[in-house]
Chain A
Amino acid sequence: MTRAAEPETGPSTATSGAAGKPFAASAGERARRLAGAAFAALVGLFLLAPVLVTIASSLTTTSYVTFPPKGLTLHWYAELLNRPEFLDSFLLSIGVAAGAAVVSTALGLAAGLAIHRYPFPGKSVLDRLFSSAFAVPTIVLGIGLLQWYAQLGMASSPLTLLLAHLVLTVPYTVRLVLAGLAGLDRSAELAAAGLGAKAPRVFWHVTLPAVRGPLIAGAFFALITSFDDLTIALFVVTTDMQTLPVRIFNYLQYNYDPTVTAVGTVMVLFAAVAVVIIERVVGVAHLFGADPED
């Protein structure tokens, strides 16, 4: 990770190495690398610190959250087992997140193909809508959805929650699929057809591989976004049906014991496992469009 960040560390190189003459390069070069590595380490630390603090404080023996932890215990993890509502919330969150991943991938592919290929009325409006959906503050979206669901008489359920999250995730998957399709040479599809492939096989052998990366990235993004969402969920959930972030948020309003940091740690572990699995299966670099050959 630090090595990958090295070439990006422009600001620090300017101070250390830029003035070096060609033949005095080796010392300057070493300083430049060192500065780069230090910069990368600092950035990494900055990003990881909150997570590390959460993990560490979940091990404290005190009955309040503190850092550095005082003593070491797994008591708060055992405590989790006495609180089935956290498990229920976790399962709800995971279920909705998985649903969001699957549905927004499918919708993203369909909508992306439609926008990329076919003229239809309202196409440009739809395209622009997908592009600008990011700009809507989630809190506004939450209020709007609350109104809508009330108007439509839709009671809170995992389905309404899923629909709410799709509003967030589908625009992303559509954009990703469109980017993938832009890189696809249309005549490759014609070539495949000319070589005897029927339409479904052209799609399977040529079109789909072009958007494979974007689809995986989109699914991953949808999963995380949905699992992570607090703002929208706050408006949509009920006391009986709470996603994990909402559960933690509500719990924290009345308690400040290390149970929440234990839950947080479990969430982090869960995310880490997910990343490792995806890395094993497809490679995270590939997921974000990097070409493994280059």
Chain B
Amino acid sequence: MTAGTDTVGDKSAPTGTDTATRAGSTRGRLVLKGIHKALGGKEVVRGIDLTMEPGEFLTLLGPSGCGKSTTLNMVAGHLLPDSGVVEVDGRDITRLPANRRAMGMVFQSYALFPHMTVAENIAFGLRMRKVGAALRRRRAAEALELVGLDGMGERYPRQLSGGQRQRTALARALIVEPDLLLLDEPFSNLDAQLRVRLREEVAALQRRVGTTTILVTHDQDEALAVSDRIAVMAEGTIHQLDAPETVYLRPATDFVAQFVGEVNVLDGIAAGAAADGHRCRIGDSHLVTATPVGTAPGDGEAVRLYVRPEAVRVLAVPGKGRPASAATPDPASTSTRTAAEPGLPGTVEATRFLGTRVRCVVATAAGRVEATLPFGSAVPGLGEEVFCAWRPQHASLTARP
């Protein structure tokens, strides 16, 4: 269906109540097929394929220059792809100019119109759609309330704080009931505390209004906190597109693993499938288990494992070192290795107290393994022989690049 003008009138329908509406969103199914784009002689987007379901909150995450903003601008209609197709709800909009798409975009710089009041800024999209002044005022007031800026309509953007400006930009984008809400690094000009608060607000608001949303950011915490799915991008391609937990715990590539938090990288040899994952030999004889990303490797193939420090448990070796009662708070885990459990033996090389947690460095056959022990767990002594273990679903296994 063509959005824009014909849907502007009835606001009540999609903004009814909480989460149910989000699941019930029927608008804003975005499909990107084989998108390429060169800027200034350099190919910054190199083949993006992506399908978003109505109501989904997807984040394009990556370092600057990875093509995420360029991709967003092609969805918005500010850039024309060199090749590829952009579809919204089955309609090819690749060559449709920005002013004829129904995208609500929020910019890093807020991009408010400085000579207009907040209310005029917010109502701008309605004005362009020839909505009458009275209705514009009413809708602007509603939008102001939606973003918690009641009564600020007569101010000018320069009289607002950064957070208020960003809320204004958000209201301005949402008032036209866009097919998609496009957020281009919307929080990066805010201070750390406000950034966290505003991103929670935006996520909650998105769930309420149910607009399909793309967030572009380089901040992995932000991406993990708000997204339904994350597309991790580097050098113009999507390295991994998955739910936040999956991206974090089972990164598909070196880049994803390193970009989204800290990670232990272990090289080994594939040693056959097991009931709970895939076995992998590290060093001469140590067997560990991990979950393959993509197709499972054949036996004997060189593989690479990624394990987050938080996922690593440091277990006492029976009969050596500390007593078995020094338990970690995780009730499902035992502090001592059970005979059958796969894992990696090593020696504690360093421990660092970090306030809320303790970082423990264990020297193993595969190099140093870092573990983050939760608050309150027993800290092994230096030089103690321990055992590093993890749940198979907390470690990812890929073919070695």
Q: Chain A residues in contact with chain B, CB under 8 A?
A: 185, 187-188, 190-199, 201-202, 205-206, 209-210, 212, 291, 293
Contacts and interface: CB of A to CB of B under 8 A. Distances in A.
Interface stretch (B10-18, B110-118, B211-219, B381-389): B110-118
Interface string B87-105: 0000000000111110111
B125 interface: yes
12 contacts: A185-B109, A185-B111, A187-B111, A190-B111, A193-B78, A194-B76, A195-B172, A196-B129, A196-B176, A197-B124, A205-B124, A209-B113
Nearest to B176: A195
A192 B114 CA distance: 12
A191 B105 contact: yes
A192 B113 contact: yes
Q: What DSSP secondary structure best describes chain A's contact surface?
A: helix
A196 B111 contact: no
Interface centre among A188, A195, A196, A212 (most CB of B within 10 A): A195
A192 B115 contact: no
Interface residues of B, number: 31
Contact of A187 (B109, B172, B176): B109
Interface centre among B77, B115, B169, B173 (most CB of A within 10 A): B115
A191 B99 contact: no
Contacts of A190: 76, 78, 98, 105, 107, 111
A194 B104 contact: yes
A191 B77 CA distance: 11
Nearest to B107: A187
Contacts, number: 76
A198 B111 contact: no
Contacts of B97: 193
Contacts of A187: 107-109, 111
A193 to B, nearest CB: 4
B197 interface: no
A93 to B, nearest CB: 35
B64 interface: no
A293 B124 contact: no
B98 A194 contact: yes
Nearest to A208: B115
Contacts of B158: 291, 293
User: 7 tightest CB-CB pairs across the interface, nearest first?
Assistant: A195-B125, A196-B128, A187-B111, A191-B111, A187-B107, A193-B98, A209-B115
Given A188-B113, A293-B158, A196 B105 contact: no
Contacts of B100: 196
Given A191-B169, A196-B100, 8 more contacts: A190-B107, A193-B77, A194-B98, A194-B101, A195-B125, A195-B172, A196-B4, A210-B115
B51 interface: no
A205 B77 CA distance: 20
Contacts of A191: 105, 107, 111-113, 169, 172
Contacts of B172: 191, 195
A8 to B, nearest CB: 25
B356 to A, nearest CB: 39
B258 interface: no
Given A185-B109, A188-B113, A206-B113, A194 B99 contact: yes
A98 B146 CA distance: 50
Contacts of A198: 99
Nearest to A188: B111
Nearest to A294: B158
B159 interface: yes
A188 B112 contact: yes
Contacts of B113: 188, 191-192, 205-206, 209
B57 to A, nearest CB: 19
Contacts of A205: 113, 124
A196 B3 CA distance: 12
Contacts of B111: 185, 187-188, 190-191
A196 B125 contact: yes
A194 B97 CA distance: 9
A209 B116 CA distance: 10
Contacts of A202: 99
A194 B124 contact: no
A206 B115 CA distance: 9
Contacts of B101: 194
Interface centre among B107, B158, B176 (most CB of A within 10 A): B107
A201 B115 contact: no
A185 B4 CA distance: 25
Contacts of A188: 111-114
Nearest to B106: A191
Contacts of A209: 113-115
A206 B99 CA distance: 14
Given A185-B109, A192-B124, A194-B105, A293 B159 contact: yes
A187 B165 CA distance: 14
A194 B176 CA distance: 10
